[in-house]
Amino acid sequence: MAAHFQTRDLEDALAAGDRDAVHAALHDLLLYKAVDPLAPAALDVIVGVLDLGGRAAAMALQVMYASAVRQGTLPAEREEAALRIRAALGRSGDDRTAVRHALHLLAVLGDAPAVVEQLAHDARRFDGETVRKEDYLSPAVAAALGRHDADLAVLEASLAGRAAEDVRAIREYAQDPDAYEERVRQMQDDEVEVL
């Protein structure tokens, strides 16, 4: 009942096929999440928006990401959510915000193979600006990747230059995030001393 109340406007917009109203309803859910945290059943409704693609899917990923990070709430139908998030990730193209949200959600939903696949796809495109290793440096993603270190080692060995260095850094972070962050801090401090 509470989930239906939370998603009534979204469900009406979906039924009407009005993409602008879908986007507006998602925006409202995002704005009011602190006051009215979403229930798992409400997130199941939001997962359905991913099939629309485009701006609506990106906003749905943002709403689900915010719910997962801030309240620790995930969709009730986790397997279905992971399948649809994986498909949305495949359609995200160059929308790196949507990619980061999808990666985090897949990691917390336990779909580590999808995270590894996306890393393999991205690794050849690491440029430090558009596609960055930092997209993979979060505790949830690190936990997912840490279970697949052998696959990441093979990926790293297949790469050269910056891409190999970035995958190596992601592997280091996945193995021990605190040690990696301390090493980066120390390198930054050393650079400041040189200046």
pLDDT score recorded for residue 5: 72
Alpha carbon distance 167, 160 (integer Å): 10
pLDDT score recorded for residue 91: 94
With a CB cutoff of 8 Å and minimum separation 6, the contacts of 123 are 155, 159, 163, 166, 167
The answer to whether the pTM exceeds 0.85 is yes
High-pLDDT (> 90) share of the chain, %: 64
For residue 171, what is the DSSP state? H
Q: Which of 122, 150, 138, 134 is nearest to 177 (CA)?
A: 138
- What pLDDT digit, counting tens, does each position of 82-134 carry? 999 999 999 998 899 999 999 999 999 999 999 999 999 999 888 777 788 89
Q: What backbone phi and psi angles, to 5 degrees, belong to 9?
A: -65, -40
